[in-house]
Amino acid sequence: MMFSYFTTLTLSLTTLLLVSCGPSASGTKAENPDYSETPVEGAEDPLASEAWHLQNTGQKTFSSAAGTAGEDMDIKEVHDLGIKGAGVTIAISDTGIDIDHSDLNGNQLSSAHRSYASEDPADWRNGDPRPIEKEAHGTGVTGLIAALGWNGIGSRGVAPSANYAGFLFVGSFHDSDTSYEAKILDQMTGDFDIFNYSYGLAGCSFEPTTTEVIDAYKYGVTSLRSGKGALYVKAAGNEYLGFNSACIDGEDSTFLGNTNTSEEHNHPYVLLTGAVNAKGKIATYSTPGSGLWVAAAGGESGKENPAMLTTDLRSCSSGYSGTSSTVTGFNKGSSTLNPYCNYTSIMNGTSSSTPVVSGIIALMLEANPNLTWRDVKHILAETADQINYSTGALAHPAGLSSVPTGHIYDYLYVRNNAGYDFSNTYGFGRVNANQAVLMAQTYVSALGTYQESSWYASPTLALAIPDNSAAGVTDNLNVAVNYIIESVQIKISTNHTYVGDLGVELVSPAGTTSKLLLVNSNIKHSGLSEFTLLSNAFYGESSAGDWTIKIIDGADADTGTFTSWKIKVNGH
């Protein structure tokens, strides 16, 4: 099971989250690949003014079109307070990091790096985290978090005073003779405040995980940081409208991604991030889902519209600079601001929004080191900006089957009975760093002792799911415990022959509806057996009472029955 899981993971890394990666062409400028610039302490960073995610002034960030001034996360305001992530440690598990880069070598935790390229577990700790496949993704991620600031070179990270360790984890170098599960469990542990995971599955199938992986996450949030809990910040995915032939039996297909297709996302211990662009709207690729927590800057292509400005491998013939002859001149070394291609303006994806959120959490933890993992999530939900706000209905994306007559595909935002606006597109909204830090500075936890209910289970069912019907099929379960909800999980079982037809909705005792799966996703998967789904849409509501599940089949032909479900409430 785990071998299959990680084989899919490795295949998906270049198609899901490593957007614009995969160097294949040579640069045009003769360069010294080991060239490093000389920092000047206290000097302004010459590229910081182009980093729209730090402060959006309507700059183009070396693309052909400008962003919208003011559509940012107020990070500059936090830096102006003197808060820059000092004292916070972050593990960055990725494709490796160019730790010799002038903007990254001053705040690394050199004794804490790891490499999972070795087959010998004894070699993982204190390993060399440098990329071995000329892959710049991890270097770009690290720059967004922790590139040094005010040193006279490049741009700067969201948390330029935080310390990081690089884990060489993502890549094709894994060998089937070594347990991939052992590697993933190892990279979830250590003396770190934040773990940044800008990787994930391809999203075109329903992928289970193991109890060992979920237990490791739970251990991290209950035991690390002296019991306050580590923050696991993870990319939601780049599959709003996905294309991946590798994981659908070789068949070329487009599909609609959803955070709930990966069980590793579907628990309360991870903080999933979506991506927005420089115009203050959802990025064209960002995967939706009821498991999202927040969204943050991720950018677009970097050609027609701004992407993200960050560190690159130090070479004009590798990394983002070497991906294509069509990338902008800035990335090819033609700009005096980037003569040796040490920086890129074309990184994007939820791979980018994830380190932005990690950096903002580092700012919060500097402002108040006593915050627990739940406090951090609560503050982010309380202070997020509900950008592009609307309670209107969303149509099914063009090019795929229509929804059944009378069925609403989704809503942009839904206000729950506790007064929280939640969106499958944005989560609780776009992170506002300044408001989050200000709240953190004076925060006294309003959250009671964390509780997880037992699973409430239905009897065995044999409910036919009607084809192409908005009425669908429903069932009820009564939850006896009365928690203030932080998240809700369900397990569903169905023998349907084409799960991609199905939509799954859950209605709380207060009447709030959350859409956990959206109809007609075109995901080619048959049957589900106690597959776990998650929703954050009921945050703050009371759990006691009758919960209703509804399953809708959005197309003709394929059929099936709804056979059982369970519900679990997490809260205080």
Q: Is residue 467 part of a domain?
A: yes
Q: Is residue 316 part of a domain?
A: yes
Of 381, 402, 424, which one is at a domain's C-terminal end? 381
Q: Is residue 38 part of a domain?
A: yes
Would you give per-residue pLDDT tens digits along the chain (572 residues)?
222 222 223 333 333 333 322 222 233 344 455 567 888 888 999 999 999 999 999 999 999 999 999 999 999 999 999 999 999 999 999 999 999 999 999 999 999 999 999 888 999 999 999 999 889 999 999 999 999 999 999 999 999 999 999 999 999 888 766 688 899 999 999 999 999 999 998 888 999 999 999 999 999 999 999 999 999 999 999 999 887 665 555 555 789 999 999 999 999 999 999 999 999 999 999 999 999 999 999 999 999 999 999 999 998 888 888 776 667 789 988 899 999 999 999 999 999 999 999 999 999 999 999 999 999 999 999 999 999 999 999 999 866 667 899 999 999 999 999 999 999 999 999 999 999 999 999 999 889 999 999 999 999 999 999 999 999 999 999 999 999 999 999 999 999 999 999 999 999 999 999 999 999 998 888 999 999 999 999 999 999 999 999 999 999 889 999 999 999 999 99
Same domain, 68 and 196: yes
The pairs formed by 56-61 with CB atoms below 8 angstroms and a separation of 24 or more are: 56/278, 59/306, 60/306, 61/278, 61/299, 61/302, 61/306, 61/307, 61/308, 61/309, 61/345
Task: In whole angstroms, give the CA distance from residue 366 to residue 397.
Answer: 42
Collect all residues with Cβ–Cβ distance below 8 Å to 392 and sequence separation of at least 6. 411, 412
Q: Is residue 266 within 8 Å of 533, Cβ to Cβ?
A: yes
Q: Token pair for residue 42?
A: 């206290």
Q: Is residue 392 part of a domain?
A: no
Of 356, 381, 406, which one is at a domain's C-terminal end? 381
pLDDT at 399: 63
pLDDT at 452: 98
Same domain, 171 and 31: yes
* CATH number of residue 326's parent domain: 3.40.50.200
Same domain, 232 and 136: yes
Same domain, 51 and 178: yes
Of 327, 361, 381, which one is at a domain's C-terminal end? 381
Helix axes 350-367, 433-441, angle to 10 degrees: 30
Q: Is residue 429 part of a domain?
A: no
Q: Is residue 424 part of a domain?
A: no
Residue 448: burial class (beta carbons within 10 Å; 0-12, 13-18, 19+): exposed
Same domain, 17 and 126: yes
Same domain, 348 and 479: no
Same domain, 152 and 301: yes
Q: Is residue 547 within 8 Å of 505, Cβ to Cβ?
A: no
E-strand stretches of 453-526:
456-457, 463-464, 473-479, 485-494, 502-507, 513-517
pLDDT at 5: 25
Q: Is residue 200 part of a domain?
A: yes
Q: Is residue 390 part of a domain?
A: no
Same domain, 247 and 130: yes
Beta strands at 163-168 and 114-115: parallel, antiparallel or unpaired: parallel
Residue 496: burial class (beta carbons within 10 Å; 0-12, 13-18, 19+): buried
**What is the separation of C-alpha 102 from the centre of its chain, rounded to a whole number of angstroms?**
27
- DSSP codes, 49-80: GG-TTT--SS--TTSSS---TT-S--HHHHHH
3-state SS assignment for residue 247: coil
Q: What's the domain range around 304?
A: 2-381
Same domain, 486 and 370: no
Domains of the chain: total: 2
Task: In whole angstroms, give the CA distance from residue 450 to residue 434.
Answer: 27
* CATH number of residue 483's parent domain: 2.60.120.260
CA atoms within 13 A on the CB side of 404: 20
Count the helix, strand and coil residues of the chain and give each as a percent rounded to the nearest 5: 20, 25, 60
Task: In whole angstroms, give the CA distance from residue 347 to residue 300.
Answer: 8
Same domain, 377 and 455: no
3-state SS assignment for residue 321: helix
Same domain, 375 and 494: no
Same domain, 22 and 154: yes
